[in-house]
Structures are given as C-alpha cells and as structure tokens.
C-alpha cells in the first residue's frame, strides 16, 4: 500500500499550519504544499505594519524556515498555481503540467483583494495582500509624499499608520460613514476616528473615489489627482485600494464542491466532498457563535481552523483549540484587540488612564469586546465570551468598577 | 554568577506575573506559582506581545494573549503553537522574601 498523501493548496497561515500540525501530531505520510507565491508559507499580519515601516523583513514573517519545512518532510512547490481539481479521481493539476494524486486535499487558497478600477485609470488600483505587493509599496513610501488609501477597514487604517510612521502624509477615503464598520461597534469607530484625525490623517468618510487622473500642471504636488463623488480633488503620489477581499474558491467551484461566498465546510473543515478540506479565509464554516456558516478573515481563524483540519485528517482532537473569533490591529502605536462579535448592545468604558474598551452584550451575556492597549482585558474577555458569561451591564459601565474582576 | 535583585515575592500576585523593566535589556517577567518563582523574558518569542500584560498563567503554563501560543515558565519550552522558539529563562535564587536572578549566565 502506498503512503497516504496530503496535498495542501495555499502558502499562507492556514496552509502552512496544516502541514506543521500534521507533522507535530506524528503524521508519517507524504505532505506536499503548493503555493502560488514565490515564498515559503508566511504570516500576513506584518505586511501592513512592520514590513512597511521596516521593523519586519520577509524572513521574520515565515511560519517556519524553509529548511525546517524540508527537515519535517514537507515538499514545497512555490510560484506555481493549481489549475484544476478532479475531486473524484483525487487528482490536482498544476500550471506547469505536474499532476498530484492525493488521498486528502486541503484548500487554503485564501482570498483576493477586491479590484477597484476608477474612471480614468488604466487598470485596477494597487492592492496589499501579498509579500511582493508590500515590498513594492514600501519603496514608494518616501517621507514628504502623500499616500491615498481607499477603504477604512483594518488594512486601510494600518496602511495609514505605517505611512505616518514613515513620514508620509495619508489621505483615507471610506464609503461608509464610519471606520472599521464591519469589525467594531459605532462607539469604537468614533474613538478610532478621533485618534486618526488627531494624528494627522485626512479622512473622507461617506465618500467614494470617482476618478483618477495624472497630475495636471495646476493641480499642485503629487503624481495623481483623485476626484471624489462630491467633487473634492486630492493630489497623491501613491494610491492603494483596501476595500476588502473575496474568497479564492475558483478551484473548488469548478470541481463541484459546495460553495457560497466561500467553500462551505463543517466545524471540522470538511467540504461537501469526502477527503477534501478547507481552512482559512476561503472557508465558510459552521461556528458555534452564529446560526449560519461564517467566513472569517483573521490570523486566528486561519491558525485555529488549520489545526482543526489537521486533527480531523488524523481523526484526533485539535490542540489548543479556540472557537472565539478575534483579531488585532496595530494603529498609531496602539494595539486594538477584538474578541467575539460586535453585535447586540455596545457598552463603552473609559478607564482612568483614558484607555478605551467597548463590550457587546446580547441577552445578558458577553458576546464581544474591543479594547485598545489593554491586552489583559482582551484575554479575559475572550475566555468570558467562550464560556458565555452573564454580566450586569451597569457594573461593566461603572467607571469605579474593575472590569478585570468582573470577567474572571 | 552575578545575582541581581528583581523584586520581592510579595510584589508578584499569586499565580500571576510581574513585568520588570530594566535598563539596557528587554523586559523580564517574574512568575509566581504557589511558593515558587520563575523568571523569564516578558516578550513572546513569536509576536511582539508582553506575556505579563496580555497572558494568562495556568499552572506553570503562560498563554500569550495575542496569538494564544504558550510556554512552560519553568524551562521556557514551547507548549503550544504558533510559538517555535523557546522563551529564555533565568536562574532564580530566593533570599528571605527577595527574588534574585542571574541575568548574564544562561
């Protein structure tokens, strides 16, 4: 009998973690990881933060050094796209004509940035998702220049923060009337907005980019002139679109796997096809905190879902499993942490030292929490959310109370 | 070995850690489990996160609040991914209620 062969498509957090977890759990069969990018599996969070400011370098973002992967017996195929999946014959075709026969297949293909092609542009605006895009942008962030960012979510705001740290003047355009509208509650949005305005970011909320033109002689400095829907003109030296992502599920869809805004999977990461699994940004999974399958675009989800898939492949229990959704974002020298979901009632609390926290309560239970520079509170909130802690909203909001004690 | 006084045992809450900032080096963490004290680096070896500020000590295991990786404070060994590099630990000596650590030899 031939060795069991696990093939992983995707060289991000989820793909890399499946490979490492399988080996750490003692899997003896073959593992092949196919990555579209030229790099071994790496963690993306630094791409909009340390890698742009120069505090991180490509090799510090790797999940494991390439030599370590080789030592662990993970065959790495980089800079190669998987082009066709035959779910019945259990075969994957690569763009260079190679054919991989598998016993188990893990789809960790991630997501692609939404493209934005404004009037006047020759093609889609630059985006930030991949290592090479981050390195190219780093070269363009020269002190004294202006960067225009379209999109006021996590990536857009981290881009703006990194630009400020490099002496670049940021301008941000967001279609919604508040920042991070998908990720935090209105009070947290307002707090974040005030901080960004104070730091010197020019914010245009509730506005969209209508067109982009090369600089004309009378438009002042900058390489481009951006025109917003209200006629405002902005000169900028570089432009990035950070307006969200769409799951990269073409391979799965063409193979007939059940997909709907993501590859549909159960709580363990099983797709509609036995022996084919999905994890990370591309997977839309059954989760305990929602009555419909959810797709999560976070480091934690990629990490935890990958561990669950590895454990499911081996028929064991995942180690260090954590089902509470969460993410962090470094902005303007502060660390924002979100735990749970920002649904229900938002209760704001400012501690004596001015640190912000917002709690989300539904049916008397803590379901979410957003903190700034308060990692202890975030950690306790994650655990309290996980066990469905019932909590008195008045006690939480009480400025004299101790939220750390309430959540223990 | 040169022993450096870091704190008093009573400065550290039971089953918790105390962050100790010292000039010229990264922050340290003094952990108290029952009557035992352990001294480690305070910064997680995976991400830039303070273990005393965001972590939770469960027995001898410190779980980082940012990526949920974990270490054993006794020997610094990694007990949970995504961490791969062990946490640096320092020899500890207790005299009366005072905690001393050998910061240069390990």
CATH number at residue A153: 3.50.50.60
Mean pLDDT across the stretch A250-274? 97
Which of B81, B83, B84, B85 would best serve as a mutation to test chain A binding (most A beta carbons within 10 A)? Answer: B81
What's residue A44's pLDDT?
A: 96
CB A169 within 8 A of CB A146: yes
Contacting residues of A for B63, CB less than 8 Å apart: 379
CB A8 within 8 A of CB A23: no
**For residue A214, is it within any domain?**
yes
Interface residue ranges in chain B relative to chain A, Cβ cutoff 8 Å: 49-50, 53-56, 63, 65-68, 70, 80-82, 84
Q: Is A320 in contact with B81 (Cβ distance < 8 A)? A: yes
Using alpha carbons only, how large is chain A's radius of gyration in Å? 22
Facing B55 at nearest CB: one of A322, A328, A379: A379
Q: Is B53 in contact with A383 (Cβ distance < 8 A)? A: no
Facing A322 at nearest CB: one of B55, B68, B84: B68
For chain A, what is the domain count? Answer: 3
Q: Helix A13-24 to helix A299-314 angle, to the nearest 10 degrees?
A: 40
Domain match, A396 and A347 both: yes
Domain match, A141 and A227 both: yes
The correct answer on CATH 3.40.640.10 for the domain covering B3-102 is no
**For residue A80, is it within any domain?**
yes
Q: Is the pLDDT of residue B106 over 50?
A: no
Mean pLDDT across the stretch A12-29? 96
Mean pLDDT across the stretch B38-57? 93
Domain match, A135 and A235 both: yes
What are the distances in angstroms from CA A269 to CA A279, A297, A306, A324? Answer: 6, 15, 8, 16
Residue A218 confidence class, pLDDT cut points 50, 70, 90:
low
What's residue A10's pLDDT?
A: 98
Mean pLDDT across the stretch A178-207? 97
Mean pLDDT across the stretch B22-32? 91
Facing A375 at nearest CB: one of B53, B80, B84: B53
d(CA A175, CA A64): 39
**For residue A141, is it within any domain?**
yes
Which of B82, B83, B84, B85 would best serve as a mutation to test chain A binding (most A beta carbons within 10 A)? Answer: B82
Domain match, A9 and A96 both: yes
Q: Is the pLDDT of residue A85 over 50?
A: yes
Contacting residues of A for B70, CB less than 8 Å apart: 320
Torsion over CA: A119, A178, A283, B67 (sign): positive
What's residue B35's pLDDT?
A: 86
- Label residues A354-370 b or e (16+ Cβ within 10 Å = b): eebbbbbbeeebbbbbb
Domain that holds residue A392: 333-407
Domain boundary among A241, A266, A285: A241
Q: Is A20 in contact with B81 (Cβ distance < 8 A)? A: yes
Chains A, B: CB contacts under 8 A, how many? 45
Domain boundary among A241, A259, A281: A241
The residue of chain B with its CA nearest to that of A371 is: B54
What's residue A323's pLDDT?
A: 87
Q: Is A21 in contact with B70 (Cβ distance < 8 A)? A: no
In three-state secondary structure terms, B39 is: strand
Domain match, A94 and A169 both: no
Bridge-based pairing state of the strands B56-58 and B61-63: antiparallel
Contacting residues of A for B66, CB less than 8 Å apart: 328, 337, 375
Facing A375 at nearest CB: one of B66, B80, B84: B66
**For residue A326, is it within any domain?**
no
Q: Is the pLDDT of residue A158 over 90?
A: yes
Residue A221 confidence class, pLDDT cut points 50, 70, 90:
low
**For residue A280, is it within any domain?**
yes
Q: Is A319 in contact with B81 (Cβ distance < 8 A)? A: yes
Contacting residues of B for A300, CB less than 8 Å apart: 67-68
Mean pLDDT across the stretch A246-255? 98
Q: Is the pLDDT of residue A222 over 80?
A: no
Domain boundary assignment for chain B: 3-102
Domain match, A251 and A237 both: no
Facing A319 at nearest CB: one of B49, B54, B80: B80
**For residue A285, is it within any domain?**
yes
**For residue A10, is it within any domain?**
yes
Q: Is A17 in contact with B82 (Cβ distance < 8 A)? A: yes
Contacting residues of B for A24, CB less than 8 Å apart: 81
CB A192 within 8 A of CB A336: yes
What percent of chain A is modeled with pLDDT above 90? 87
d(CA A310, CA B26): 36
Residue A216 confidence class, pLDDT cut points 50, 70, 90:
low
d(CA A14, CA A114): 21
ipTM value, please give it. 0.81
Domain match, A144 and A235 both: yes
Question: Which residue has 């000039």 as its token pair?
Answer: B23
Residue A1 confidence class, pLDDT cut points 50, 70, 90:
low
Gap from B52 CA to chain A (nearest CA, Å): 8
Domain boundary among A264, A285, A314: A314
């Amino acid at each position: 009998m031939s060795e069991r062969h696990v093939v992983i498509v995707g060289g991000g957090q989820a793909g890399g973690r499946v490979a490492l977890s399988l080996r750490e759990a003692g899997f003896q069969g073959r593992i092949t990881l196919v990555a579209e990018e030229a790099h071994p599996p790496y963690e993306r969070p630094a791409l909009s933060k340390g890698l742009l400011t120069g505090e991180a370098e490509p090799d510090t973002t790797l999940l494991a050094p390439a030599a370590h992967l080789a030592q662990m017996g993970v065959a790495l195929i980089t800079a190669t796209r998987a082009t066709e999946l035959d779910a019945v014959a259990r075969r994957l075709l690569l763009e260079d004509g190679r054919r991989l026969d598998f016993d188990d297949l893990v789809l960790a293909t991630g997501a692609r940035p939404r493209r934005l092609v404004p009037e006047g542009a020759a093609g889609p605006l630059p985006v930030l998702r991949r290592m090479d895009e981050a390195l190219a942008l780093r070269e363009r962030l020269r002190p004294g220049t202006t960067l225009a960012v379209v999109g006021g979510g996590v990536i857009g705001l981290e881009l703006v923060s990194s630009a400020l740290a490099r002496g670049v003047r940021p301008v941000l355009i967001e279609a919604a009337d508040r920042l991070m509208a998908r990720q935090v509650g209105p009070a947290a949005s307002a707090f974040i907005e005030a901080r960004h305005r104070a730091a010197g970011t020019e914010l245009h909320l509730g506005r969209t980019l209508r067109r982009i033109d090369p600089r004309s002689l009378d438009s002042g400095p900058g390489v481009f002139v951006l025109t917003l829907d209200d006629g405002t003109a902005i000169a900028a030296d570089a432009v990035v679109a950070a307006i969200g992502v769409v799951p990269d599920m073409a391979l799965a869809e063409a193979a007939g796997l059940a997909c709907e805004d993501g590859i549909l999977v159960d709580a363990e990461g099983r797709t509609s096809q036995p022996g084919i699994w999905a994890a990370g940004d591309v997977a839309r999974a059954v989760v305990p905190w929602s009555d419909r399958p959810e797709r999560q675009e976070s480091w934690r989800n990629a990490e935890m879902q990958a561990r669950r898939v590895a454990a499911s492949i081996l028929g064991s229990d995942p180690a260090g499993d954590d089902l509470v959704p969460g993410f962090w974002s470094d902005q303007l020298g502060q660390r924002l942490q979100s735990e749970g979901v920002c649904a229900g009632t938002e209760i704001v609390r400012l501690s004596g030292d001015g640190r912000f926290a917002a709690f989300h309560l539904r049916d008397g239970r803590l379901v979410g929490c957003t903190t700034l520079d308060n990692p202890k509170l975030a950690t306790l909130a994650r655990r309290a959310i996980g066990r469905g802690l019932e909590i008195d909203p008045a006690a939480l909001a009480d400025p004299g109370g101790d939220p750390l004690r309430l959540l223990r | 070995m040169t022993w450096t006084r870091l704190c008093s045992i009573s400065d550290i809450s039971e089953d918790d850690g105390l962050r100790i900032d010292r000039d010229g080096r990264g922050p340290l963490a003094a952990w108290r489990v029952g009557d035992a004290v352990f001294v480690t680096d305070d910064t997680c070896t995976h991400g830039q996160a303070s273990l005393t500020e965001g972590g939770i000590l469960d027995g001898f295991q410190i779980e980082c609040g940012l990526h949920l990786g974990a270490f054993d404070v006794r020997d610094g060994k990694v007990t949970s991914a995504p961490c791969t590099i062990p946490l640096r630990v320092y020899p500890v000596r207790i005299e009366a209620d005072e905690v001393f650590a050998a910061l240069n030899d390990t």
